[in-house]
Amino acid sequence: MSGFGNEFSSEDPRCPGSLPEGQNNPQVSPYGLYAEQLSGSAFTCPRPANKRSWLYRILPSVKHKPFTSVPCGDLTENWNEVEPDPNQLRWLPFTIPKATEKKVDFVAGLHTVCGAGDAKSRNGIGVHVYTCNTSMVDRCFNNSDGDFLIVPQQGEILITTEFGKMMVEPNEICVIQQGMCFSVDVFGETRGYILEVYGAHFELPDLGPIGANGLANPRDFLCPVAWYEDRKVPTGYTVINKYQGKLFACQQDFSPFNVVAWHGNYTPYKYNLKNFMVINCVAFDHADPSIFTVLTAKSTRPGVAIADFVIFPPRWGVADHTFRPPYYHRNCMSEFMGLIKGHYEAKEEGFQPGGASLHSIMTPHGPDVDCFEKNSTAELKPERVAEGTMAFMFESSFSMAVTKWGLHTCQKLDKNYYQCWEPLRSHFNPNWKPGKQ
């Protein structure tokens, strides 16, 4: 179903009429189902921010054995494992384990790279990668801490949720909001990135003078239709819950994907990045990358995001008398970048699909020497930029700390990254004179 934040309703066609008529919680629901509300906001939030859905399920989610603590692996919210590192950081493509050596599913393949804040106080973010090779079997994941924005880079993923199924391919994204159970099927060696946000939900950025249309249009977001399975699991079905930065597991004897019908505006959803309507400069100068914002999670400060999801899609470059690639920059925000495919325009070598970079708050960054020299003398004719490429950025107002896994354990940190700027030389000419304009 299409739309962003709409009031949706869906019922599995195998059970027509399974949505109650005229009320949410009848004394007896159709087909003998249980009514269960999933609240994504406080009851008293203003209507534009009020998020909830009603699920009509074969058994309620409360029917499970007690949760017990389980190992977190490389998933963490400990931002003080290692000393802070303000350097420009770049990672080579993160290793995907071979299925012949070890079977790793989505949850076991989660690794935290960096983050900040605290899930207990409902304010912060985590940046993770997932590297896996096998599907989740009789296991699901439920994040009590926040929302997952998932960016597949290699291999499509089939996500089964309580609301239905979504196939998500590279160059698409999906958002699984807080509290929603989901399971991930993969079809080979699979890798991607995750932006986790505590305490806020993603929304479309305000368009201001752009007007009523542009950037990511609401109609291009898709949410699943109802699908259920009435499946007993006598050997035990495992629900893994991320709670206050730790993992817990409980057992139940049935599949949690037993929702026959649902209605509401709190759903998982997906979006194809090729549908992004790109805004760009058509006269001179390089516009700020905020014009490429797909989704934002707002903070309480006007105009300042907990996190923005920004992309750098294929587009036309036409600016006159302008250095067209991204400018040299020091930023009061943290910038974590990943590459889904292709070559990023500011660094065509070294920054590879499946890798990443982090430019922390006020850490200088910008084009490497080859990019600068090439584009300082290039003929400024209209040209396609980033053709066949899709880079993205998780930008945050938080000063993100890198984990021990990110700095050491993954063994993918490119310790020579700084060298891409070393050959930059001075072009200063004290005898330069202004020419005729």
Give the model confidence (pLDDT) of 390-400 as tens digits. 999 999 999 99
Q: What are phi and psi of 313, to 5 degrees?
A: -85, 170
* DSSP conformation letters of 109-149: TEEEEEEEEETTTTEEEEEEEEEE-S--SSEEEEESSEEEE
Q: For the chain, list residues with pLDDT below 70.
A: 346-348, 436-437
Q: Is residue 321 part of an annotated ligand binding site? A: no
Residue 329 annotated as part of some ligand binding site: yes
What pLDDT sits at residue 344?
79
Q: What pLDDT does residue 436 have?
A: 59
How much is the pLDDT for 437?
Answer: 47
The whole-number pLDDT of residue 191 equals: 98
Annotated catalytic, 64?
A: no
- 327 labeled part of a ligand binding site: no
Query: What is the pTM (predicted TM-score) of this model?
Result: 0.96
Q: Which residues pair with 65 in a beta bridge?
A: none
Q: Work out the percent of the chain whose per-residue pLDDT is above 70.
A: 98
- Take residue 167 and report the two structure tokens written for it: 């196939």
Q: Could you say which of 128, 201, 263, 286 is catalytic?
A: 286
Structure-token pair, residue 30: 């159709």
CB 269 within 8 A of CB 174: yes
The pair of structure tokens assigned to 347 is 């660094």
What are the angstrom distances between the C-alpha of 69 and each of 66, 138, 145, 265? 10, 18, 16, 32
HEC secondary structure over 301-360: CCCCEEEEEEEECCEEECCECCCCCCCCECCCCEEEEEEEECCCCCCCCCCCCCCEEEEC
pLDDT (tens digit per residue) in 36-50:
999 999 999 999 999
Structure tokens at 17: 């009429």
Residue 405 CA to residue 318 CA, distance in Å, equals 42
Q: Is 156 annotated as a binding residue?
A: no
